[in-house]
Structure 1
Amino acid sequence: MSDALINGLAGAGGGIIAQLITYPLQTVNTRQQTERDPKKARRKRHGTIEQMCQVVKQEGWGRLYGGLAPSLVGTAASQGVYYYFYQIFRNRAEVAALDRWKNGIGDGSVGMLSSLLVAAMAGCVNVLFTNPIWVVVTRMQTHTKALKKIEPCQTPSIVADDALQIVAIEPPPYGTSHAVQEVYNEAGFWGFWKGVLPTLIMVSNPSIQFMLYETMLKQLKERRTLSKKATKGVTALEVFLLGAVAKLGATVVTYPLLVVKSRLQAKQVKGGDKMHHYKGTLDAIAKMIHYEGLSGFYKGMSTKIMQSVLAAAVLFMVKEEIVKAVRLLIMKDASLINKVRSKPP
């Protein structure tokens, strides 16, 4: 089994576990990002936990996990594709660095700029392959039950005459096939690549994340090697913390692009107020600045930091542990095969 395939499968496994743990936070965050009415957003300005409780109260537990199935498919595909191509590009970068070192250039290691380029290339391949999945996931996360005010029973002993009740109208079942059909009806085949431009620019997020992670990991290993108390390797907890710090830095820098991407992938409201319909990336940015100001680009940022940092930390930790376990199994199998071959007939 190639190193790239091991990393791809490990990345997919780690991504699935991280997604299962943090998915309710992701659903709330997507709703925060796609709320386009500033007045309504101010009225709904609650903490993350409060908003989760509100969704459960009004729509049930299931809505926190809306789109989980395609999201798990998307996560497995995204992380698998990303880590597979990342390792391929990384291996080529390492070979190129060694060649330069042999010619008297550099120290033989992959530098920060090369690490950034490798991560960006892997990210672009990943985006082009998996964007349709995330369009469907966004639609399912932002699909809500309709709320309607109704007149209550006129019996005074039950409720005051001037009171109103707000109830959730149970919508028809809304699954993956409904989301796919909705996207296709709205924008045709290319509708599944809505938001691909800001998403491609968002490649800088994992690129920055991996650059920070690889740099910090390299420094930690160098200190560990020079230290008198050197151990066999980096622990799972250290990988968890490095992954969290790297993701935090990347998220803070690139969050506005994530909001624009979510707006484009959510259901477009045609007719009525033009602020609710975006023709493209530049149109979305212009309307957000005009109607919401710069603060609109940072809606739900605290929730996203909580979700993405936790998810990235879990992913890095689980992925590294899976890679170690698979490599150990391969080494054991190879050792057993060598023993069998070495026995005299």
Structure 2
Amino acid sequence: MNPFDVIKQRMQVHGSTHKTIWQCATTVYRAEGMRAFYVSYPTTLCMTIPFTATQFIAYESTSKIMNPSKKYDPLTHCVAGALAGAVAAAVTTPLDVIKTVLQTRGLAKDDEVRTARGLFNAAAIIKKQYGWSGFFRGMRPRIIATMPSTAICWSSYEMAKAYFKRHYGDSAA
């Protein structure tokens, strides 16, 4: 889904003149070629794997503390899911910042950013221009945006698990 993420980022950027997905996609393709849609893909993978692993670990740890009996408890699952998402989002924000720089590089006024070649090159540019704090720009909004979806995801998972346990026994879940 990386090309659609690139299009989303380009359309969300301040001052974007793109009115439709198609218009944005064709403009990016004509100006930067197919590579523009995939330059951030390795970074996306490097971000998604630790995000998911961190989220699982944080969810299991938080649920165990909040609900040692492991009984179905919607409030616990919702809160633990939201907290797990917050931790995962915070931990992976530096990679998300790098991904966003790569996905929006074609719009940059800075030549160095416009020609960023990949994860390590973009990271070096961020460090040079903003210092270490540059890797955490947008962390709070990212955490806030992530928490509801992870709360819903984990709550839904636990509800389905409880349903199957109740109807098909422990071996089903």
Q: TM-score surpassing 0.5?
A: yes
Distance 1:182 1:137 in 2: 13
Partners in 2 of 1:291 and 1:248 — Cα distance?
A: 27
Answering whether residue 81 of structure 2 is matched by residue 210 of structure 1, we say no
Give the drift of 1:188: 2.7
2:4 corresponds to: 133
Does structure 1 residue 180 correspond to structure 2 residue 25?
Answer: yes
Give the alignment's TM-score, normalised by structure 1. Answer: 0.42
- 2 CA distance for matches of 1:138 and 1:316? 27
The within-5 A match list for 1:325-336 is: 327=164
In 2: Cα distance, 1:143 partner to 1:326 partner: 45
- The residue aligned with 1:199 is 44
Q: CA deviation at 1:310?
A: 2.8
More helix by share: 2
Task: Give 1:224's aligned residue.
Answer: 69
> 2:79, 2:101 → 1: CA distance?
31
| SS, match of residue 194 in structure 1 | coil
Q: Is the 8 A contact 1:275 1:291 kept in 2?
A: no
- Identity, in percent, stands at 28
The answer to whether the aligner puts 1:189 opposite 2:34 as a matched pair is yes
Query: Structure 2 length normalisation: TM-score?
Result: 0.78
Q: Structure 2 regions of 5+ residues with no counterpart?
A: 169-173
Q: Which residue of 1 aligns with 2:148?
A: 310
Aligned partners of 1:269 and 1:276 also within 8 Å? no
Q: Closer, same or farther in 2 for the Cα pair 1:219/1:301, shift >3 Å?
A: closer
CA deviations over 1:53-106 (Å, ceiling 9, x no partner)? xxxxxxxxxxxxxxxxxxxxxxxxxxxxxxxxxxxxxxxxxxxxxxxxxxxxxx
What are the within-5 Å matches in structure 2 for residues 1-345 of structure 1? 130-142=1-13, 144=15, 171=17, 174-202=19-47, 203-217=49-63, 223-224=68-69, 233-269=71-107, 273-277=110-114, 278-321=116-159, 323=160, 327=164
Aligned partners of 1:320, 1:190: CA distance in 2, in Å? 40
Query: Are the counterparts in 1 of residues 72 and 162 from structure 2 also a CA contact under 8 Å?
Result: no
For these two proteins, the number of residue pairs brought into alignment is 165
The structure with the larger Rg is 1
Inter-partner Cα distance in structure 2 for 1:276 and 1:293: 15
| Residue pair 1:135, 1:194 contacting (<8 A) in 2 also | no
Counterpart CA distance in 2 for 1:326 and 1:144 is 48
Moved over 4 A (4+): 218-221, 324-328
String of CA shifts for 1:88-140, please: whole Å, max 9, x gaps.
xxxxxxxxxxxxxxxxxxxxxxxxxxxxxxxxxxxxxxxxxx22221222122
Partner of 1:10: none
Partners of 1:220 and 1:142 in 2: CA distance: 40
User: Residues 139 and 267 of structure 1 are in contact (CA less than 8 Å); yes or no, is this contact kept in structure 2?
Assistant: no
Q: Do 1:209 and 1:249's aligned partners in 2 also have CA atoms closer than 8 Å?
A: yes
> Hey, what's the Cα distance between the residues in 2 that align with 1:143 and 1:176?
16
Cα distance change, pair 132–175 in 1 and its aligned pair in 2 (3 A): same
